[in-house]
Amino acid sequence: MEVGQMQRRLVDYTKSLFMEGFLDAQFLQLQQLQDESNPDFVVEVVSLFFDDSEKLLNDLTMALDQPSVDFKKVDAHVHQLKGSSSSIGAQRVKNACIAFRSFCEEQNIDATLRCLQQVKQEYYLVKNKLETMLRLEQQIVAAGGSIPMIELGF
Protein backbone atom coordinates (compact mmCIF):
# COMPACT_ATOMS: atom_id res chain seq x y z
CA MET A 1 0.00 0.00 0.00
CA GLU A 2 1.43 3.37 -0.89
CA VAL A 3 1.85 6.18 1.61
CA GLY A 4 -1.06 8.34 0.41
CA GLN A 5 -3.44 5.41 0.76
CA MET A 6 -2.12 4.61 4.23
CA GLN A 7 -2.53 8.23 5.27
CA ARG A 8 -6.13 8.32 4.05
CA ARG A 9 -6.84 5.09 5.89
CA LEU A 10 -5.38 6.54 9.08
CA VAL A 11 -7.41 9.74 8.81
CA ASP A 12 -10.64 7.78 8.26
CA TYR A 13 -9.86 5.42 11.10
CA THR A 14 -9.00 8.22 13.52
CA LYS A 15 -12.13 10.16 12.58
CA SER A 16 -14.25 7.09 13.24
CA LEU A 17 -12.81 6.84 16.76
CA PHE A 18 -14.05 10.38 17.45
CA MET A 19 -17.41 9.83 15.78
CA GLU A 20 -18.01 6.66 17.81
CA GLY A 21 -17.10 8.43 21.03
CA PHE A 22 -14.01 6.38 21.84
CA LEU A 23 -11.90 9.52 21.84
CA ASP A 24 -12.71 13.13 22.60
CA ALA A 25 -11.06 16.52 22.09
CA GLN A 26 -8.57 15.91 24.88
CA PHE A 27 -6.81 13.36 22.65
CA LEU A 28 -6.27 16.10 20.08
CA GLN A 29 -4.55 18.14 22.80
CA LEU A 30 -2.06 15.29 23.20
CA GLN A 31 -1.44 15.06 19.46
CA GLN A 32 -0.79 18.79 19.35
CA LEU A 33 1.77 18.45 22.13
CA GLN A 34 3.81 16.04 20.02
CA ASP A 35 6.58 17.74 18.10
CA GLU A 36 10.05 17.15 16.66
CA SER A 37 11.68 17.38 20.10
CA ASN A 38 9.34 14.65 21.39
CA PRO A 39 8.08 12.69 18.37
CA ASP A 40 6.92 9.70 20.43
CA PHE A 41 4.97 11.60 23.05
CA VAL A 42 1.56 10.16 22.16
CA VAL A 43 2.87 6.58 22.04
CA GLU A 44 4.65 7.07 25.38
CA VAL A 45 1.71 8.57 27.18
CA VAL A 46 -0.76 6.05 25.76
CA SER A 47 1.54 3.17 26.78
CA LEU A 48 1.78 4.62 30.27
CA PHE A 49 -2.00 4.84 30.39
CA PHE A 50 -2.30 1.18 29.36
CA ASP A 51 0.15 -0.02 32.02
CA ASP A 52 -1.39 2.11 34.73
CA SER A 53 -4.99 1.20 33.81
CA GLU A 54 -4.27 -2.50 33.82
CA LYS A 55 -2.91 -2.20 37.35
CA LEU A 56 -5.97 -0.23 38.42
CA LEU A 57 -8.34 -2.78 36.86
CA ASN A 58 -6.53 -5.59 38.68
CA ASP A 59 -6.74 -3.69 41.95
CA LEU A 60 -10.44 -3.08 41.34
CA THR A 61 -11.09 -6.75 40.61
CA MET A 62 -9.34 -7.74 43.84
CA ALA A 63 -11.06 -5.09 45.90
CA LEU A 64 -14.51 -6.17 44.70
CA ASP A 65 -13.64 -9.81 45.31
CA GLN A 66 -13.25 -9.33 49.06
CA PRO A 67 -15.82 -10.82 51.46
CA SER A 68 -16.28 -7.34 52.87
CA VAL A 69 -15.84 -4.74 50.14
CA ASP A 70 -14.06 -1.51 51.03
CA PHE A 71 -16.05 0.88 48.83
CA LYS A 72 -13.83 3.81 49.70
CA LYS A 73 -10.88 1.97 48.25
CA VAL A 74 -12.87 0.95 45.18
CA ASP A 75 -14.00 4.55 44.71
CA ALA A 76 -10.42 5.82 44.98
CA HIS A 77 -9.28 3.46 42.20
CA VAL A 78 -12.21 4.39 39.97
CA HIS A 79 -11.56 8.06 40.63
CA GLN A 80 -7.97 7.65 39.49
CA LEU A 81 -9.02 5.78 36.36
CA LYS A 82 -11.54 8.51 35.63
CA GLY A 83 -8.81 11.13 35.93
CA SER A 84 -6.32 9.37 33.68
CA SER A 85 -8.86 8.31 31.05
CA SER A 86 -10.25 11.84 30.83
CA SER A 87 -6.73 13.27 30.54
CA ILE A 88 -5.99 10.90 27.66
CA GLY A 89 -9.31 11.55 25.97
CA ALA A 90 -10.67 8.02 26.40
CA GLN A 91 -14.24 9.26 26.63
CA ARG A 92 -16.14 5.99 26.93
CA VAL A 93 -13.86 4.72 29.69
CA LYS A 94 -14.32 8.02 31.53
CA ASN A 95 -18.11 7.80 31.22
CA ALA A 96 -18.10 4.22 32.48
CA CYS A 97 -16.12 5.43 35.50
CA ILE A 98 -18.66 8.15 36.24
CA ALA A 99 -21.46 5.57 36.42
CA PHE A 100 -19.23 3.30 38.49
CA ARG A 101 -18.62 6.01 41.10
CA SER A 102 -22.29 6.67 41.68
CA PHE A 103 -22.85 2.97 42.48
CA CYS A 104 -19.84 3.00 44.80
CA GLU A 105 -21.51 5.78 46.72
CA GLU A 106 -24.62 3.62 47.05
CA GLN A 107 -22.39 0.69 48.09
CA ASN A 108 -24.29 -1.50 45.65
CA ILE A 109 -22.16 -4.62 45.17
CA ASP A 110 -24.05 -6.08 42.21
CA ALA A 111 -24.15 -2.83 40.31
CA THR A 112 -20.47 -2.13 40.96
CA LEU A 113 -19.53 -5.59 39.67
CA ARG A 114 -21.50 -4.87 36.50
CA CYS A 115 -19.76 -1.49 36.24
CA LEU A 116 -16.40 -3.13 36.55
CA GLN A 117 -17.23 -5.37 33.58
CA GLN A 118 -18.39 -2.33 31.64
CA VAL A 119 -15.22 -0.36 32.38
CA LYS A 120 -13.05 -3.34 31.43
CA GLN A 121 -14.94 -3.76 28.18
CA GLU A 122 -14.57 -0.08 27.27
CA TYR A 123 -10.93 -0.12 28.25
CA TYR A 124 -10.04 -3.13 26.08
CA LEU A 125 -12.02 -1.66 23.19
CA VAL A 126 -10.18 1.67 23.28
CA LYS A 127 -6.86 -0.09 23.83
CA ASN A 128 -7.42 -2.14 20.73
CA LYS A 129 -8.46 0.90 18.69
CA LEU A 130 -5.52 3.01 19.85
CA GLU A 131 -3.05 0.21 19.15
CA THR A 132 -4.45 -0.15 15.64
CA MET A 133 -4.22 3.61 15.09
CA LEU A 134 -0.65 3.82 16.38
CA ARG A 135 0.34 0.83 14.25
CA LEU A 136 -1.00 2.59 11.16
CA GLU A 137 1.03 5.66 12.12
CA GLN A 138 4.18 3.56 12.51
CA GLN A 139 3.65 2.01 9.08
CA ILE A 140 3.33 5.45 7.50
CA VAL A 141 6.49 6.74 9.19
CA ALA A 142 8.37 3.55 8.25
CA ALA A 143 7.35 4.10 4.64
CA GLY A 144 8.79 7.60 4.80
CA GLY A 145 5.49 9.44 5.12
CA SER A 146 4.31 11.96 7.72
CA ILE A 147 1.36 11.67 10.07
CA PRO A 148 -1.52 13.79 8.79
CA MET A 149 -3.17 16.07 11.35
CA ILE A 150 -6.91 15.65 11.29
CA GLU A 151 -9.28 18.58 11.25
CA LEU A 152 -12.68 17.97 12.74
CA GLY A 153 -15.71 20.07 12.00
CA PHE A 154 -18.95 18.30 12.70
Partner 1 sequence: MLIIQTKSLFLFHLYISQLWLLFFNTMNPSNGNGSMSTASSSGAWDGRDQFPAGLRVLVVDDDPTCLMIFEKMLKACLYQVTKCNKAETALSVLREHKNEFDIVISDVHMPDMDGFELLKHITSEMDLPVILISADARKQVVMEGVTYGACDYLIKPVRIETLKNIWQHVVRKKARNTV
Selected from 1, 25, 62, 142, the binder of partner 1 by CB under 8 A is 25
131 sits near partner 1 (criterion: CB under 8 A): no
Rule CB under 8 A: say whether 139 interacts with partner 1.
no
Query: Under the criterion CB under 8 A, does residue 35 sit at the interface with partner 1?
Result: yes
Of 9, 79, 120, 127, the one binding partner 1 (CB under 8 A) is 79
SS (H, E, C) the chain: CCHHHHHHHHHHHHHHHHHCCCECHHHHHHHHHCECCECCHHHHHHHHHHHHHHHHHHHHHHHHCCCCCCHHHHHHHHHHHHHHHHHHCEHHHHHHHHHHHHHHHHCCHHHHHHHHHHHHHHHHHHHHHHHHHHHHHHHHHHCCCCCCCCCCCC
Check residue 80 for interaction with partner 1 (CB under 8 A). Answer: yes
Among 9, 54, 87, 120, binds partner 1 (CB under 8 A): 87
Q: Which of 10, 14, 89, 100 binds partner 1 (CB under 8 A)?
A: 89
